[in-house]
Structure formats: C-alpha cells, structure tokens
Amino acid sequence: MGGAATASPEHRRELRARLLPPRHGLQGTAPLPIHDELVEEIFLLLPTPTDLIRASAACVSFYRLVATRSFRRRFRKLHAPPLLGFLDHEREFLPAIPPHPSAPAADAVALAADFSLSFLTRDPYFTPAHYWDIEDVRNGRVLISRHPFHDLSLAVCDPLHRQYLLLPPIPEFEGWASLYNLRTGWQTFLGDEEEAVEETSFTVVSISQWGNWLGAIMFSSSTGQWRPSPWIEGFAFFNQCRYAYGCFYGVTECRQKLLVLDTQKMEFSLADLPPEARGSPERDVDIAFVEAGEGITGMFVHPGHTYNSISYLIKRNNGGSSSEWKLEKTIPLDFTGSRFMGSSGRYLLLRCW
C-alpha cells in the first residue's frame, strides 16, 4: 500500500519560515524610552504641588527627577505659593476665608503656627519680646528688628516651624557712612533669591539714606554674608516701596519718578512714571506692584481713596522707561472708599469700606 510522506517537525518549521513574510513595525521591539527632559516639561505643567506629589509617587525615577534642586527651582518660579493670609504689626494672623480656595489650608496654618513669636523667648537675647518689631512678611517668613533700632539687629523667623535666624551684624563697608549715622534713614525688607537652590533661601535688603545719598545692603541666607551697593547721589528716598521679581520699586518724593533697586545687580535706576501713576502734593496716588507671571510685572494705580476705580498696567521686563508700561485695564470698585494695604507675589491687598 502507498501512503503520503510525513514531514518532520524541523522540516515544517523551515517551510513555515520560508512562506510567512517577515514582521515589520513595532512588533518584537522594546518600548521607546521617555527622556527625563520630556518628563520634566510635562511635570512643570501640573497645576499644583499636590498634583506633582501624586505624579512623582508613580515610580522611583519620577521621584528622583522632581527631587532635584534644578527642577524645584523651575517649578517654584512657575507656580507661586497660595495666599494663606497676612500678618499685621500686632502679630495677629488674618487667614483667607471661604470661598477662597486656600481657606482650609489657612485654617490649618492658623492652628499650627506661632504668630506671636513666643518661641523667640527661649533665647535671652530676644527677651522681652516687645523689643522686637515686625519689619516685613514674605513667603511665610517674618523679618523683625530690635527696638530701639540702636544696633541694627535683625532676625528672620518661621512661625510655622518655630525657627529663627539671627542675622550677623552689618559690617562697616569701605566707602560707606558709619552705620550709627544711617540708623534714622533706614528701611528693611524681605526678598527672594532668584537663583535659590532651597525653598528656605531668602534675602534681606536694607535701603539707607545719608543726606542726599542713597545706598543698599543685601544679606543672602545662602552665603550668610552682606553685600553693599554703590552709593548714588541726587535720588530722593523711597516712598511706597514694593517688591516684584527681585526688584524693589518706590516713588520719589516729587511723585513723578520711579526708583528701582535691582537686587541681582545691586544697582539703582530712575525712570519716568507712566501718566496714570504720577502724583503731586495735591494729588495722592497709591501704587502697588505684583508678579503677573511669565516675567510680567504688574502695576496697580489708585488715584485716591475716594475714587471708584483702579488702573492696571503691565511691563514685560524689569527697569526701563514709562513707554514700556501698557495700560491693561481699568477695574471698577463698588465701594465708598478704598486704599492699598500691600502686595505679595501676584496678590494685591485692598482695604475697602
């Protein structure tokens, strides 16, 4: 009897390999890697720090990326901290209230923090506590000075963590007047370090007047040292001093000029105010500056407490002339009266009645 020949398994595999076309595309290949640079740009688009924490918990590589100093610095520049409230000179914390989205966090901070700064009394140098006055508040830190201001003693406090740093004495810089002679014309403010590597980094800037001369000294928490600016002659002293993007802005006594201190260069400059912001002894104009995002500096102008509107102007870089300021909008106010209380970051504090 005849019969069909049976192919061996090896022969069948060889025949199938010849008959089937080769596979193409992504089949059989490893998944394409996602570069850290792309992940970093995606994480920078996350709207809140809470979202960033959730995303970084997905894997170890994500956590390592967001934990780097360079990433944290970039994220802080793009995402301003929320407004929780403000601290008055009597050391009373006024938290944000509903419907503000920060109200729950503000209540938690109000319970956890020591805004009376009673923790300072553990150090005999800070006793009694009423010898210390609040000079400025920024990003959860409080700048205090010893009263009377005879020795220019300064300290920066963290009420939430109950910590403080007593700043080193301001040294006698060559070419500067005696600090004793400067004590009557002295303004001190908190600032941010533009290239800070840690969230705890800060600066303290003291602006001083000596006769017809103006100068500034800046302390950096990163270096632990004071750095002076050159003295300049012929500038009036700061009025209505405000801070935005590493610069301190003030209006001169004639209310026609804008005086700017760039803390990166430690240099003063003078520019014309835009027409909307110019005042006179008979016309009191209030001005505040905010960080509007993407390097845009915003200027709010209040022509007087009885006016029912304020103007908002923007400028896309620091310094320069009045031609760079652009009127963005006029904001109506439905109040009997109002005045500026201050500004911080992108927020303007307005008192209304």
160, two tokens: 């939430």
Residue 41 domain-assigned? yes
Q: What is the largest CA-CA distance in the chain?
A: 127
Residue 271 domain-assigned? no
Residue 68 domain-assigned? yes
Residue 62 domain-assigned? yes
For 31, residues 6+ apart whose C-beta sits below 8 A from its C-beta are: none
Residue 71 domain-assigned? yes
The confidence band for 22, taking pLDDT boundaries of 50, 70 and 90, is low
At residue 1, the pLDDT reads: 46
| Number of residues that make up the chain | 353
For 99, residues 6+ apart whose C-beta sits below 8 A from its C-beta are: none
Residue 53 domain-assigned? yes
CA distances 169 to 112, 148, 173, 282, Å, are 31, 16, 12, 41
Residue 60 domain-assigned? yes
Give the 3-state secondary structure of residue 187: strand
| Domain of residue 45, residue span | 37-79
Cis peptide before 9 (omega within 30 of 0): no
The confidence band for 160, taking pLDDT boundaries of 50, 70 and 90, is very high
Q: Structurally, how many domains does the chain consist of?
A: 1
At residue 2, the pLDDT reads: 46
Q: Kindly report the average pLDDT of the chain as a whole number.
A: 81
Q: What is the pLDDT of residues 177-225, one digit of tens each?
A: 555 455 556 788 998 876 555 667 899 998 887 777 788 899 999 999 9
Residue 163 has pLDDT above 90, yes or no: yes
Q: What are phi and psi of 161, to 5 degrees?
A: -95, 0
At residue 312, the pLDDT reads: 96
Residue 320 has pLDDT above 70, yes or no: no
The confidence band for 303, taking pLDDT boundaries of 50, 70 and 90, is confident
Task: Report which of 235, 258, 245 is spatially closest to residue 297, judged by C-alpha positions.
Answer: 245
Where is pLDDT greater, at 102 or 284?
A: 102
Give the 3-state secondary structure of residue 128: coil
At residue 326, the pLDDT reads: 92
Residue 107 domain-assigned? no
Q: What is the pLDDT of residues 61-93, one digit of tens each?
A: 888 888 888 888 788 778 877 889 988 888 899
At residue 321, the pLDDT reads: 45
